[in-house]
Amino acid sequence: MFATLFTVASLAILAAATPTPGGEPASSCSTGPIQCCDSVQKADSAAAAGILAAIGVVVQDVTAQVGLTCSPITVVGVGSGSSCSAQAVCCEDNSHGGLISIGCVPVTL
């Protein structure tokens, strides 16, 4: 029983520590602060399109990735500001007060 529990716990830890496929290193983010977003979706998804329309933003590439409900995080130092329990991304446009970030690419912390 203990061996099974240990195996399951080990697999869960490995899954949580696995970097996002296609994610860039956080150090390569040159567009502004790294963001922690509740979700990342295509600009033409129902949730993203609704928010973009409500704030009057037109995205040229409807397949662009946008982050929803984002906040800036740091990767240097220790503390609550250096982790992200959702999706860490680097975005081209973070000028919408955290509601939505445009042109996002996943990053690994």
- Please tell me the distance from the alpha carbon of residue 87 to that of residue 55, in angstroms, as a whole number: 23
Query: Is 5 domain-assigned?
Result: no
Query: Is 47 domain-assigned?
Result: yes
Query: Is 1 domain-assigned?
Result: no
Query: Is 13 domain-assigned?
Result: no
Query: Is 2 domain-assigned?
Result: no
Rounded to a whole number of angstroms, the CA Rg of the chain reads 16
Query: Is 6 domain-assigned?
Result: no
At 53, the pLDDT band (50, 70, 90 cuts) reads: very high
Query: Is 18 domain-assigned?
Result: no
* Range in 13-17, 18-22, 66-70 with the lowest mean pLDDT: 13-17
Query: Is 7 domain-assigned?
Result: no
> What is the pTM assigned to this prediction?
0.66
- Please tell me the distance from the alpha carbon of residue 52 to that of residue 64, in angstroms, as a whole number: 12
Assigned token pair, 28: 């390569």
Q: Is 90 exceeded by the pLDDT of residue 59?
A: no
Q: Which residues of 11-39 are buried (b: 16+ CB within 10 A; e: fewer)?
A: eeeeeeeeeeeebeebeebeeebbbbbee
Q: Whole domain around residue 29: which residue ranges?
A: 23-108
pLDDT digits (tens, 9 = 90+) for 25-46: 777 788 778 899 999 999 999 9
Of 24, 31, 109, 19, the C-alpha closest to 73 is 109
60 against 104, higher pLDDT = 104
Please state, rounded to an integer, the average pLDDT across all residues of the chain: 74
Q: What is the mean pLDDT of residues 74-96?
A: 74
How many domains does one find in the chain? 1
* Range in 10-19, 44-53, 73-82 with the lowest mean pLDDT: 10-19
